[in-house]
Amino acid sequence: MKKTANILFFVLSFSVAFAQPVEKLYKVVVAPDHFDWNYKSGENVKFTISVLQNGNLVKNARVRYEIGPEKMEPTKKETITLPSGSITLDGGTMKTGGFLRCIAIAEIDGKEYRNLATAGFDPLTIQPTVENPADFDTFWQTAKADLAKIPMDAKMTLLPERCTETVNVYHLNLQNFRNGTRLYGILCVPKKEGKYPALLHVPGAGVRAYGGDIANAAKGIITLQIGIHGVPVTMDPSNYLDLGAGALNGYMNYGSDDRDRFYYKRVYLGCVRANDFLTSLPQYDGSNLAVTGGSQGGALSIITAALDPRVKWLGAFYPALSDVTGYLKGRAGGWPHYFDKNALAYNNKPEKITTLGYYDVVNFARRVKVPGYYSWGFNDETCPPTSMYASYNVISAPKELYLALETGHWTYPEQHEKMTGWLVKKLSNK
């Protein structure tokens, strides 16, 4: 029963992170007047708000809406009745690259139904706000050199209940960035004798169990799905709930006033350590290694590819930790929103701003040298597109961006199919 609960917890956690929203009885549809949701700076956008039931407009629907730059105070808001069930509004424009968002909420029978749409204005012109520390490369070169001195001390525990006819599944336990600290994950290795490429899965935010990527291992790829918190990833779900509400609550803020004590230092180096292990396996083919993830994992995919020259390809969904200082310049910043109105008083200190420069995805994106496949939507309220484009636009390596415009912090199955297809093709040299 305990093993079943762990697997179920993984499935539920994965679903929360990537599944599309549940359908509702009434639908609020918000749409810009350009099919591709893209506009030139200075060009006006019109937003159409419609309220539907059974595919038909709901007459006299009561709606409140707001329009403004994403994550900023709205420049226009109003509560109106829609006699026909639909209305088209003048949303205004933006004078520079960015995103203008319309949020609409209909109240029907005491319940609220919400949706949004986001118009992009010259998004490929958006540039970062975060500082690029002069000693950034030296800092991380030193950190990696220190990591290399720490014995890996790898321990693999076979999980027979998860193994298949073609794949062995292990709980992996490595020593991380200093003696006594550990990194855990689920390793999946093809049973058939041979040499295989490797794929590292880096996690989204939170604390949870993991099930491992058995599906891609069955295709002939060694896969490793890691946690970042130094705790086993096969425990009972209640343990993760306790950690998430207790010791690891707000981990993304720990030590943010000191670049050497910041929590993410162990995380970033842990991703490199995971690759140390993968590339040491006798089944590894010696040359083909990729990394992928979404949100915090999207950030870690870019970071790992920049830090570790052994990585040949990266796949990132909606990368977090991107251009976090955007709020200090009057625009949206990336998750975890260190400088938005709710956290500004706590984080707006010189030492924290300095530290974050060494960890912002933008500064790793500048240093990415390998091909990457990226995917996100314009309606993401967790990782604002302004912040993601700030990172994407400074990448000089080959890159592909697959937009699913209306998605928020979730994905359609088609996005995962394209990402997986791209990674498998690259790793398999097909």
Question: What is the per-residue pLDDT for 209?
Answer: 98
Whole-angstrom distance, CA of residue 416 vs CA of residue 310 = 24
CB 167 within 8 A of CB 214: yes
Whole-angstrom distance, CA of residue 212 vs CA of residue 245 = 24
Question: What is the per-residue pLDDT for 20?
Answer: 80
Task: Report mean pLDDT in 10-residue bins for the chain, 430 residues.
Answer: 38 50 93 98 98 97 98 97 98 98 97 98 98 98 98 98 98 96 98 98 98 98 98 97 97 98 98 98 98 98 98 98 98 98 96 98 98 98 98 98 98 98 93
Whole-angstrom distance, CA of residue 276 vs CA of residue 413 = 31
Cβ contacts of residue 207 below 8 Å, gap of 6+? 227, 229, 231, 240, 243, 244, 248
Question: What is the per-residue pLDDT for 8?
Answer: 38
Whole-angstrom distance, CA of residue 167 vs CA of residue 288 = 19
280 catalytic residue (yes or no): no
Tell me the CA distances in angstroms from 85 to 30, 58, 246, 253, one per residue in order. Answer: 12, 5, 46, 45
DSSP designation for 73? P
CATH 3.40.50.1820 positions along the chain are 135-428
DSSP-based three-state secondary structure for 67: strand
Structure tokens at 392: 């994407």
409 catalytic residue (yes or no): yes
Amino acid letter, residue 279: T
Listed residue (38, 33, 22) closest to 401, CA to CA: 38
Question: For the CA atoms of 297, 303, 305, 309, what is the dihedral angle to 10 degrees?
Answer: -140
Question: What is the per-residue pLDDT for 10?
Answer: 37
Listed residue (264, 236, 279) closest to 355, CA to CA: 264
pLDDT digits (tens, 9 = 90+) for 233-253: 999 999 999 999 999 999 999
Of 13, 229, 380, 387, catalytic = 380
Of 295, 301, 387, 391, catalytic = 295
pLDDT digits (tens, 9 = 90+) for 370-405: 999 999 999 999 999 999 999 999 999 999 999 999
Amino acid letter, residue 146: D
Of 201, 229, 337, 409, catalytic = 409
Which residues are paired to 99 by β-bridges? 120
Indicate the CATH number for domain 135-428. 3.40.50.1820
295 catalytic residue (yes or no): yes
Structure tokens at 13: 């956690």
For tokens 């993601």, the residue is 388
Question: What is the per-residue pLDDT for 129?
Answer: 98
Amino acid letter, residue 12: L
Helix (H) and strand (E) counts in the chain: 11, 18
CATH 2.60.40.1930 positions along the chain are 26-125
Question: What is the per-residue pLDDT for 27?
Answer: 97
Structure tokens at 236: 């009972």
Burial of 259 from C-beta contacts in 10 A (0-12 / 13-18 / 19+): buried
Question: What is the per-residue pLDDT for 18?
Answer: 58
DSSP string, 16-37: HHHPPPPP-SEEEEEEESSTT-
Burial profile 154-188: b = 16 or more Cβ within 10 angstroms, e = fewer: beeeebeebbeeebbbbbbbbbbbeeeebbbbbbb
| 3-state DSSP percent of the chain in helix, strand and coil, to 5 | 30, 30, 40
Looking at 3.40.50.300, 1.20.1090.10, 1.10.1040.20, 2.60.40.1930, the CATH number of the domain 26-125 comes to 2.60.40.1930
Sheet harboring 111-121: ordered strands across? Answer: 38-39, 111-121, 98-108, 61-69, 76-82
Segment holding 157, helix H or strand E: strand 155-158
Burial of 280 from C-beta contacts in 10 A (0-12 / 13-18 / 19+): exposed
